[in-house]
């Protein structure tokens, strides 16, 4: 089962790559824990992406908080208040008052055992997590901005015999063209409504574990079967008796193919009037088809007259 987004608890989450929502596979919904999870094919290294979230079928008079985590590290947060847009894009992480970094796919080197560990949400590497809470009490904050401590690359983590590499990286920091003012709030009490977890792995790994179906090549891409040597063509009954490799082969008729085989000296031959206008059979070892008897020794030569077509 595949879909373009996760939907649970009034939150819709999708990953956008090159302007298109990525397909998600193996969606699992746990209503009792308010958790939805899925798998996604990881993008190529250094490919930017963004996360789109939207609120659906939730009371507009309440305040909601959306948080985004990449590899278990928080990289963004927004408060959706009454009268504000219900959809939001997360594509950068703020590291200072004037600097941001773009989300990008990085290296992903996992063993099968480490990558497919169960339960899946205990493995933070290669994971995008989005949480939705309802804020019961919020107030103004004195902070002018909030920076997140992120690293472009993490050192390998060794767990037993398996080595895991960080697979989220960030582009070089960019300076904002102008400082955009923002109003910050302090959230005091929250109620968790939904948690969305999207794990991304290479296609080959997902296909091996049956999460992504194999895509057979189209019929047109199959190569034509190779004929074995000296095999007759598919629609030919036989080759000519005199030269099977000649381009000017003459195929025998159905009645001739059903007749018993003759010795080499008694083989029949079909005379084509166009090739022999005089009607003579110059081959002494073969005679023309028909019931004309063979001439006896000393008998006068008699020509065989063939009707013109």
How much is the pLDDT for 82? 83
CA distance 184 to 181: 10
pLDDT-derived band at 254 (thresholds 50, 70, 90) equals very low
Question: Looking at the predicted structure, is the pLDDT value of residue 36 above 60?
Answer: yes
Question: Looking at the predicted structure, is the pLDDT value of residue 167 above 80?
Answer: no
Dig out the tokens for 54 from the structure: 């939207």
Lowest mean pLDDT among 38-42, 68-72, 158-162, 264-268: 158-162
Instruction: Determine what percent of the chain is predicted with pLDDT higher than 70.
Output: 48
Dig out the tokens for 142 from the structure: 């004195």
Once rounded to an integer, what is the mean pLDDT over residues 246-272?
49
Query: Smallest Cα–Cα separation from 173: which of 147, 206, 145?
Result: 147
Once rounded to an integer, what is the mean pLDDT over residues 90-98?
83
As a whole number of Å, the end-to-end CA separation of the chain is 69
Question: Looking at the predicted structure, is the pLDDT value of residue 258 above 50?
Answer: no
Question: Looking at the predicted structure, is the pLDDT value of residue 172 above 50?
Answer: yes
Query: Which element (helix H / strand E) includes 97?
Result: none
Q: What is the pLDDT of residues 110-136, one digit of tens each?
A: 555 555 554 443 456 788 999 999 988
DSSP secondary structure string for all residues of 227-259: PPTTPPPTT-S---SS-TT-SS--PPPHHHHHS
pLDDT-derived band at 213 (thresholds 50, 70, 90) equals confident
Ordered by start, the domain boundaries in the chain are 2-213
Question: Looking at the predicted structure, is the pLDDT value of residue 246 above 70?
Answer: no
Report the predicted TM-score, pTM, of the whole model to 2 decimal places. Answer: 0.59
Answer whether the bond into residue 204 is a cis peptide, omega within 30°.
no
**How many C-beta atoms surround the C-beta of residue 196 within 10 A?**
26
């Amino acid at each position: 089962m595949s879909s373009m987004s996760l939907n649970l608890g009034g939150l819709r989450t999708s990953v956008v790559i090159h302007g298109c929502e990525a397909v998600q596979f193996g969606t699992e919904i746990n209503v009792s824990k308010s958790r939805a999870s899925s798998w996604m094919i990881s993008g190529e290294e250094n490919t930017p992406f963004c996360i789109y979230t939207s609120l659906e079928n939730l009371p507009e008079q309440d305040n909601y908080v959306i948080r985004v985590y990449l590899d278990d590290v928080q990289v963004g947060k927004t408060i959706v208040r009454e009268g504000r847009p219900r959809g939001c894009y997360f594509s950068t992480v703020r590291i200072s008052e004037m600097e941001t970094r773009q989300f990008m796919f990085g290296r992903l080197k996992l063993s099968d055992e480490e990558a497919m560990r169960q339960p899946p949400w205990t493995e933070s590497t290669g994971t995008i997590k989005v949480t939705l809470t309802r804020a019961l009490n919020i107030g103004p904050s004195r902070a002018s901005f909030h920076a997140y401590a992120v690293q472009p690359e993490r050192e390998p983590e060794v767990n037993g015999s398996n080595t895991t590499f960080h697979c989220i990286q960030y582009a070089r920091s960019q300076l904002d063209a102008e400082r955009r003012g923002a109003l910050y709030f302090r959230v005091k009490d929250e109620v968790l409504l939904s948690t969305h977890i999207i794990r991304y792995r290479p296609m080959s790994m997902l296909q091996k574990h049956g999460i992504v179906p194999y895509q057979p090549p189209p019929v047109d891409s199959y190569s034509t079967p190779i004929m074995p040597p000296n095999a007759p063509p598919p629609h030919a009954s036989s080759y000519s008796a005199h030269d099977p490799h000649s381009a000017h082969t003459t195929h025998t008729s159905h009645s001739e193919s059903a007749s018993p085989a003759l010795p080499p000296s008694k083989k029949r031959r079909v005379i084509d009037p166009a090739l022999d206008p005089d009607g003579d059979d110059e081959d002494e070892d073969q005679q023309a088809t028909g019931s004309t008897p063979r001439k006896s020794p000393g008998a006068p030569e008699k020509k065989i007259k063939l009707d013109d077509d």
